[in-house]
């Protein structure tokens, strides 16, 4: 009995003095994150960097969108210079590459004694200038005869003598006018032909600028359907001067495009239609026959007034072979010599005219849009001889 009372007393004392707050704390649910709002998006990582603080940034400025009318604005139309006086303005470019010939001839002809060795040098100088063997011999023979008749030779007399001879060989009496005037209700048609790499498409575009500068209305026909870049290039040339460009599907029928271009020219009552043909190789008979087909199809709608053969003046006598083959397929009426301001030798002007009986009507004297000029024989000869 006594023992039981003692146990109860000890247990009561233990419960009375038991330490409080001992044991595992209650588990609490994590706080719910605040719902994001569209007006004030929180910056990522800002809570960790700044102890949980949140900063609201203003939305970035929005660039104004241009109206549809401005995005579709047509390119500004350029007003080219007229053709009159172009070659005079570009004479310095021609002189830089051609005066070597003139100076060499003047120096040789001014020597005190003109023996056979000197005449051989004169002949070699002329042949090197791409004048051609037969033409060179004829020139040397004429010069020898005139020198004998002249007797004494002052520098002015030699210069005058050489100028007369060169001018005679360039044939100033040839008709170099471009037939680009409309006749009746039909426009004039200019067919531009030539091999790859001669600058044919560029010449077509520059010719359009020449005609627009002279006050004519022009339509361009992109009949080089085998090269998409040529069509796009011609379109760009036309857009610059406000000339419509007729084009067809890539690889389409060139004759069909040419026909449609002439029809467009008749409908719009333009003065001139310029047809840029494919730069086909003159050694492929089938392709040359196709060029003849283009001309025949055009003639069902209108007359082909000009056939311009574009030649690279730097190719020299190789250009003669090109000219002869093209002349057999289409009736070439004029030559456009490109790159005459570079390393070209001006004698090609004389030789190509002499061999074909076709005048050089246009010359390219640079890479600028207005560097195509009507050929002027006197300006050309004076540029060769220098000031």
C-alpha R_g of the chain: 42
Percent of the chain with pLDDT over 90: 39
Pairing mode of beta strands 334-338, 304-312:
parallel
Q: Show Cβ contacts of residue 387 under 8 Å, excluding neighbours closer than 6 positions.
A: none
Quote the CA–CA distance of 317 and 51 in Å, as a whole number. Answer: 86
pLDDT at 50: 43
pLDDT for 31 equals: 53
Per-residue pLDDT reduced to its tens digit, 228-273 = 889 999 999 999 999 999 999 988 899 999 999 999 999 999 999 9
pLDDT digits (tens, 9 = 90+) for 152-169: 678 888 888 889 999 999
Q: Using CA of residue 148, residue 169, residue 87, residue 103, what is the dihedral sign?
A: negative
- Given a contact cutoff of 8 angstroms between Cβ atoms, the answer to whether 192 and 277 are in contact is yes
Q: How far apart are CA 179 and CA 187, in angstroms?
A: 10
In contact, 246 and 257? CB cutoff 8 Å: yes
Helix (H) or strand (E) holding 335: strand 334-338
DSSP 317: T
Q: Which two tokens stand for residue 141?
A: 């023979």
Query: How far apart are alpha carbons 225 and 185 in whole angstroms?
Result: 28
Could you say which residues of the chain have pLDDT below 70?
Answer: 1-75, 96-99, 152, 280-285, 317, 342-344, 387
Residues in the chain: 387
DSSP string, 227-262: -HHHHHHHHHHHHHHT-EEEE--TT--HHHHHHHHH
């Amino acid at each position: 009995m006594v023992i039981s009372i003692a146990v109860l007393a000890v247990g009561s004392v233990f419960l009375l003095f038991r330490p409080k707050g001992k044991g595992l704390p209650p588990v609490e649910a994590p706080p719910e994150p605040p719902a994001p709002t569209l007006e004030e998006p929180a910056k990522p990582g800002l809570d960790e960097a700044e102890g949980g603080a949140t900063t609201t940034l203003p939305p970035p400025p929005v660039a104004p969108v241009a109206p549809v009318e401005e995005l579709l604005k047509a390119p500004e139309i350029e007003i080219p210079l007229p053709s009159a006086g172009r070659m005079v303005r570009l004479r310095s470019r021609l002189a830089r590459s051609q005066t070597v010939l003139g100076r060499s001839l003047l120096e040789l002809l001014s020597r005190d004694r003109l023996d056979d060795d000197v005449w051989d040098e004169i002949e070699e100088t002329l042949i090197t200038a791409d004048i051609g063997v037969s033409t060179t011999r004829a020139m040397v023979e004429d010069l020898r005869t005139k020198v004998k008749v002249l007797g004494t030779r002052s520098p002015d007399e030699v210069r005058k003598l050489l100028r007369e001879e060169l001018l005679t060989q360039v044939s100033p009496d040839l008709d170099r006018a471009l037939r680009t005037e409309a006749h009746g209700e039909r426009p004039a048609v200019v067919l531009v032909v030539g091999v790859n790499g001669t600058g044919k498409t560029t010449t077509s575009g520059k010719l359009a600028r020449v005609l627009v500068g002279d006050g004519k209305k022009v339509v361009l026909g992109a009949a080089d359907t085998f090269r998409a870049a040529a069509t796009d290039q011609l379109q760009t040339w036309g857009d610059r001067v406000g000339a419509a460009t007729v084009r067809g599907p890539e690889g389409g029928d060139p004759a069909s495009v040419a026909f449609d271009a002439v029809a467009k020219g008749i409908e719009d009552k333009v003065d001139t239609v310029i047809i840029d043909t494919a730069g086909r190789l003159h050694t492929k008979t089938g392709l040359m026959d196709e060029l003849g087909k283009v001309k025949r199809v055009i003639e069902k709608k209108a007359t082909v007034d000009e056939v311009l053969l574009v030649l690279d003046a730097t190719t020299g006598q190789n250009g003669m072979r090109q000219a002869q083959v093209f002349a057999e397929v289409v009736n070439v009426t004029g030559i456009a010599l490109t790159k005459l301001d570079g390393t070209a030798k001006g004698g090609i002007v004389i030789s190509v005219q002499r061999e074909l009986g076709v005048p050089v009507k246009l010359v390219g004297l640079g890479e600028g849009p207005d560097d195509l000029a009507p050929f002027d024989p006197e300006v050309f000869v004076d540029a060769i001889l220098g000031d």
